[in-house]
């Protein structure tokens, strides 16, 4: 070192300065080149996210990674409210863990709720308090980010015919507030007529549709604030669902009712497809109105698969307070026939996959304990759920079903908790009516066995 300094005639101070300069260059280069792979890794991760497979339709089946894909699902409509910082995130994580352990791979959740605050029978806070005005505290971003970690997907429901999330009635009222919403505790003709104006009344339907489609566009193009993924590019989303249980309008005696309803389904699904080429689209309908309405609601080329719900007690085919075998068998017979009929309509007439998106049964109501009590037995429910599992497995072997989703998972929540808990039952229903809890081990075992049977048959 001494030879170098004397050879170049540099002073000691200049030599030290040069040494420091060279050291700075070396450290800076190290930082830059070490950082570059990190940036590349982040870019690679983003690219990988975009190239993950989305579920596609092949005939009457779902396909994922070139293999048949079947849904073992639950309704967890309360997800975005529980996912808020002020919600119950620890409960969500426990619930997701329980579901994953029992073979579930998909949840049906609300991706919409309409305000304003103070209306009865609503889930609060609403995602949208007024047209285009959003509450950023709602936890949809967070929930989807967690769902991805559990390798599960979500069916995203974009509105609701019923009032418990605001839904179509709130859109109608935003456009025409001359009369109050005729809230029912259960579905009723006055409410049905009022809400059906959403897609039939020339005075309000165009503005309602504008508000609704603006919401659809906002959700589809949203960038998740937790993981940075645009919703339309996120494989965690299984499909978009136009609404929860949009109804036929036969109560209105409109001559062109089928045309009006078809136009709404067709135009809305087409709009979604124009924004998002990745995800499937379905309707959210029940199928209870018969074959003609089922076809009207699903025949659009932009609807990828059909939706079916079956509710034996709500539709008068079962009495949860009656212990007789005849009572149960009447319900089971109706369910089996209904699932067969709707499967035939979908796969044979429309040539589309069909998904059972809702079904449930109350706890046994004929004993001393209330059927709304989590401690009540579930003898008939477990028998019923097992029969549905067997029927869906039978249909899946014929490429005539794609899966099942029960209503609804309450997880660790109980209706006796001291604070509002969002169990499996929406705000207008008695807490505990159709809730399935984490302690319902025999019920959950049905889905575990169902998932294992699908895996074994596909190997």
Tell me the pLDDT tens digit for each residue of 193-218: 999 999 999 999 999 999 999 999 99
Structure tokens given for 390: 């067997």
Position 421 confidence tier, pLDDT thresholds 50, 70, 90: low
Q: Say which residues have a Cβ less than 8 Å from residue 245's Cβ, sequence separation at least 6.
A: 160, 161, 162, 284, 285, 286, 309
pLDDT tops 60 at residue 99: yes
How many Cα atoms are found within 13 Å in the side-chain-facing hemisphere of 122? 22
Give the helix, strand, coil percentages of the chain, each rounded to 5.
45, 15, 40
Residue 364: helix, strand or coil by DSSP? coil
pLDDT at 422: 79
User: Residue with structure tokens 């895996």?
Assistant: 455
pLDDT in tens, 100-140: 999 999 999 999 999 998 899 899 999 999 999 999 988 99
Is residue 320 within a helix (H) or strand (E), and if so which, with residue range? none
Mean pLDDT confidence for 41-63: 66
Average pLDDT over residues 174-179: 97
Q: Which helix H or strand E contains 268, and what residues bound it?
A: helix 257-275
Lowest mean pLDDT among 7-21, 137-151, 351-365: 7-21
| Residue in 136, 130, 121, 129 with CA at minimum distance from that of residue 84 | 136
Per-residue model confidence (pLDDT) at position 198: 96
Top pLDDT among 15 and 441 is at 441
Residue with the bigger pLDDT between 370 and 255: it is 370
pLDDT at 437 > cutoff 80: yes
User: Parallel, antiparallel, or unpaired: how do β-strands 354-359 and 306-310 relate?
Assistant: parallel
The set of residues, in sequence order, having a beta carbon less than 8 Å from that of 107 and lying 6+ positions away, is 73, 74, 75, 76, 79, 99, 147, 152, 153, 154, 155, 405, 409
**pLDDT above 80 for 320:** yes
pTM of the shown model: 0.88
In the chain, where are the structural domains located?
1-45, 67-458
CATH for 67-458 is 3.20.20.80
List the Cα angle 91/95/99 in 5-degree steps: 175
Q: Hunting for tokens 């959403």 — which residue is that?
A: 198
Task: Name the percent of the chain lying above pLDDT 70.
Answer: 86
pLDDT tens digits for range 20-48 = 444 444 434 333 333 333 223 333 233 33
pLDDT computed for residue 25 by the predictor:
43
Cα 247 from Cα 313, distance rounded (Å) = 18
């Amino acid at each position: 070192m001494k030879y170098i300094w004397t050879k170049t005639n540099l002073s000691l101070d200049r030599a030290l300065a040069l040494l420091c300069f060279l050291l700075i260059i070396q450290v800076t280069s190290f930082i830059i080149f070490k950082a570059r792979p990190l940036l590349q890794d982040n870019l690679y991760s983003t690219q990988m996210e975009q190239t993950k497979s989305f579920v596609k339709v092949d005939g009457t089946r779902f396909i994922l990674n070139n293999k048949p894909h079947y849904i073992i699902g639950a309704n967890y409509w309360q997800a975005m409210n529980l996912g808020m910082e002020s919600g119950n995130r620890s409960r969500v994580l426990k619930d997701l863990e329980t579901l994953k352990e029992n073979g579930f791979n998909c949840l049906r959740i609300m991706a919409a709720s309409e305000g304003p605050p103070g209306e009865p029978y609503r889930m609060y806070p609403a995602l949208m308090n007024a047209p285009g005005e959003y509450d950023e505290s709602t936890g949809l971003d967070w929930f989807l980010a967690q769902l991805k970690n559990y390798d599960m997907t979500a069916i995203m429901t974009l509105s609701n015919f019923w009032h418990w999330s605001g839904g179509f009635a709130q859109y109608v009222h935003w456009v025409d507030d001359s009369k109050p919403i005729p809230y029912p505790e259960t579905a009723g003709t006055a409410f049905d007529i009022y809400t059906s104006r959403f897609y039939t009344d020339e005075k309000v339907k165009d503005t309602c549709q504008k508000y609704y489609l603006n919401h659809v566009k906002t959700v589809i193009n949203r960038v998740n604030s937790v993981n940075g993924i645009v919703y339309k590019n996120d494989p965690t989303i299984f499909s978009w669902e136009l609404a929860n249980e949009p109804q036929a309008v036969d109560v209105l005696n409109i001559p062109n009712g089928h045309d009006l309803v078809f136009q709404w389904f067709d135009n809305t699904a087409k709009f979604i497809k124009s924004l998002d080429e990745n995800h499937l689209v379905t309707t959210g309908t029940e199928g209870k109105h018969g074959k003609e309405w089922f076809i009207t609601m699903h025949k659009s080329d932009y609807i990828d698969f059909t939706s079916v719900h079956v509710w034996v007690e709500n539709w008068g085919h079962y009495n949860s307070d009656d212990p007789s075998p005849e009572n149960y068998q009447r319900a089971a017979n109706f369910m089996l026939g209904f699932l067969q009929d709707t499967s035939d309509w979908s796969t044979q007439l429309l040539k589309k996959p069909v998904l059972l998106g809702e079904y449930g049964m109350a706890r046994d109501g004929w004993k001393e304990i209330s059927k709304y009590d989590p401690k009540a037995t579930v003898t008939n429910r477990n028998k019923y759920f097992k029969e549905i599992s067997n029927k869906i497995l039978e249909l899946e072997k014929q490429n005539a079903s794609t899966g099942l989703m029960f209503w609804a998972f309450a997880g660790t929540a109980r209706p006796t908790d001291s604070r509002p808990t969002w169990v499996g039952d929406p705000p207008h229903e008695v807490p505990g009516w159709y809730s399935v809890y984490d302690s319902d081990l025999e019920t959950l075992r049905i889905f575990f066995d169902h998932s294992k049977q699908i895996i074994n048959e596909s190997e």
